């Protein structure tokens, strides 16, 4: 039966919170074991108060860590340890009661299993922390920081990778290490006006100056946000690979052979290729950077799905997250290759912003720098 006076009672009524997760009971059992056998604190040196998810449990363990355990003979006769822990913990958790400390003791199945309970607490803390790193990666990718959003995203990806290395050292591997969590759908691409304008200008400028495409092996059709732009870049790269003439008409003919005109008109394709401006490499770098941010967002969503599946162990979280980061590493390699070769830009460390050069103009003086929309 639900105890209305116990804030940790989890028999939910119609308007009450959902039942507590298994780690809640592990936290209770661990604290109960330490209240019964405080000498076990010396065996849990890798556990910290911040590893607990419940604020009152955090306060209780912080109090235990700050206090000197009583002598065994004194502890066996008097509740000195419980009283000291309660008085100290109330500084952080004012609603904590002596009754709840006794509840912790009653819910501990076996005090000798304290190390196992501590491992459960550490595991769930690892899951929560990994989710926090993942959320930061997603936020950095979707709300980019100017003027170098890629630098900020890659720095956060490095922080996430370092945390995965820490977890790999702390938790032993085991068979069946791959998560079975279904892969979440890819988040939608950013198709704002600026994004589409940059892709259009890249296609038009590459059509007008096809030789510049030979300096861009790092840009792939998949980097484009709009499917029609992806298809047109396929056309350009195919013509360039075959050494055939490239202009709006030859690109249109290639588009027809690739079935692109089933979904769009010939005039629309010609309009997309009509107004070149700026440098092909400059627009290509912008397109690749947006693709990098999108892949970082996709990676973050995939890892977040792993952390939200309670069936995954910490080792499965590490293995699955590293595989997800590998997809980001692939596009990162292309990004670092192009930024190291762009004139006016120096190779920078992963977490240090570089200076972006202005794109050289390949258009006649007075020509518009943006197509009219």
* pTM, two decimal places: 0.81
369 within domain boundaries:
no
Work out how many domains the chain is built from and give that number: 3
| Cβ contact 177:316 at 8 Å | yes
Q: Which of 200, 222, 210, 224 is nearest to 372 (CA)?
A: 200
40 within domain boundaries:
yes
Same domain, 211 and 162: no
Place of tokens 């892949």: 295
Same domain, 183 and 305: yes
Same domain, 97 and 45: yes
Helices (H), 209-279: 227-242, 248-257, 266-272
Kindly list the distances between the CA atom of residue 54 and the CA atoms of 5, 58, 59, 116, 129, in Å, as whole numbers in the listed order: 17, 6, 9, 18, 15
Rounded average pLDDT over 233-249: 94
Same domain, 70 and 105: yes
Query: Where residue 35 sits, what CATH number does that domain have?
Result: 1.10.860.10
pLDDT of residue 172: 81
**Residues across the chain:** 373
Measured CA angle at 55 (ends 51, 56), to 5 deg: 110
C-alpha 223/C-alpha 199 separation (Å) is 10
pLDDT of residue 293: 96
366 within domain boundaries:
no
Same domain, 68 and 137: no
Instruction: Render pLDDT for 306-320 as a digit per residue (tens, 0 to 9).
Output: 999 999 999 999 999
For residue 173, name the pLDDT band (cuts at 50, 70, 90).
confident
Rounded average pLDDT over 285-297: 96
39 within domain boundaries:
yes
Q: How many helices (H) and strands (E) does the chain have?
A: 13, 0
Q: Which of 223, 255, 218 is nearest to 236 (CA)?
A: 255
C-alpha 319/C-alpha 316 separation (Å) is 5
Rounded average pLDDT over 7-18: 57
353 within domain boundaries:
no
365 within domain boundaries:
no
Same domain, 178 and 324: yes
DSSP 5: T
Query: Residue 16 CA to chain centroid, in angstroms?
Result: 32
C-alpha 157/C-alpha 83 separation (Å) is 46
Residue 97 CB neighbour total at 10 angstroms: 15
Same domain, 151 and 272: no
C-alpha 324/C-alpha 166 separation (Å) is 17
Of 249, 272, 287, the position where a domain reaches its end is 287
Tokens linked to 3: 């105890």
Same domain, 212 and 174: no
Q: Which of 139, 171, 179, 177 is nearest to 157 (CA)?
A: 139
For residue 369, name the pLDDT band (cuts at 50, 70, 90).
very low
Better-predicted residue by pLDDT, 46 or 100: 100
Query: Residue 44 CA to chain centroid, in angstroms?
Result: 30
Same domain, 205 and 164: no
Domain residues for 157? Answer: 133-187+293-341
Same domain, 273 and 232: yes
DSSP 182: P
Instruction: Render pLDDT for 80-121 as a digit per residue (tens, 0 to 9).
Output: 999 999 999 999 999 999 999 999 999 999 999 999 999 999
Place of tokens 């990676």: 299
pLDDT of residue 158: 97
Instruction: Render pLDDT for 110-164 as a digit per residue (tens, 0 to 9).
Output: 999 999 999 999 999 999 999 999 999 999 999 977 678 999 999 999 999 999 9
159 within domain boundaries:
yes
Task: Kindly state the percentage of the chain with pLDDT values over 90.
Answer: 73
Q: Return the C-alpha torsion angle 63, 64, 68, 71, nearest 10.
A: 140
Same domain, 98 and 26: yes
331 within domain boundaries:
yes
Same domain, 223 and 279: yes
Q: Which of 30, 31, 36 is nearest to 76 (CA)?
A: 36
């Amino acid at each position: 039966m639900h105890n209305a006076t116990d804030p940790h009672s989890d028999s939910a009524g119609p308007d009450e919170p959902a039942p507590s997760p298994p780690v809640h009971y592990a936290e209770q059992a661990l604290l109960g074991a330490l209240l019964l056998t405080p000498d076990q604190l010396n065996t849990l040196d890798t556990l910290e108060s911040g590893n607990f998810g419940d604020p009152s449990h955090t306060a209780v363990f912080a109090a235990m860590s700050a206090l000197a355990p009583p002598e065994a003979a004194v502890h066996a006769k008097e509740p000195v340890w419980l009283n000291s822990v309660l008085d100290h913990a109330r500084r952080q958790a004012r609603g904590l009661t002596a009754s709840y400390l006794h509840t912790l003791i009653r819910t501990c199945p076996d005090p000798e299993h304290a190390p196992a309970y501590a491992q459960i607490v550490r595991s769930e803390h690892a899951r929560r922390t990994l989710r926090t790193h993942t959320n930061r990666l997603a936020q950095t990718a979707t709300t980019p920081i100017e003027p170098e959003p890629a630098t900020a995203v890659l720095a956060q990806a490095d922080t996430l990778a370092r945390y995965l290395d820490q977890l790999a050292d702390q938790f032993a591997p085991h068979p069946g290490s791959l998560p079975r969590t279904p892969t979440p759908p890819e988040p939608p691409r950013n198709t704002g006006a600026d994004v589409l304008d940059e892709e259009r200008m890249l296609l038009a400028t590459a059509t007008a100056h096809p030789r510049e495409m030979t300096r861009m092996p790092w840009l792939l059709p998949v980097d484009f946000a709009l499917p029609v732009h992806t298809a047109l870049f396929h056309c350009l790269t195919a013509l360039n690979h075959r050494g055939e003439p490239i202009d709006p008409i030859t690109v249109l003919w290639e588009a027809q052979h690739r079935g692109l005109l089933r979904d769009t008109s010939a005039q629309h394709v010609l309009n997309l290729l009509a107004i070149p401006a700026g440098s092909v490499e400059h627009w290509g770098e912008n397109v690749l950077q947006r693709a990098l941010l999108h892949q970082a967002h996709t990676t973050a969503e995939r890892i977040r799905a792993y952390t939200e599946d309670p069936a995954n162990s910490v080792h499965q979280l590490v293995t699955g997250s590293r595989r997800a980061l590998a997809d980001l590493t692939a596009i990162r390699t292309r990004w670092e290759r192009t930024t190291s070769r762009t004139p006016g830009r120096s190779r920078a460390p992963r977490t240090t912003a570089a200076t972006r050069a202005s794109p050289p103009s390949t258009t006649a003086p007075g020509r518009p720098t943006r197509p009219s929309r």
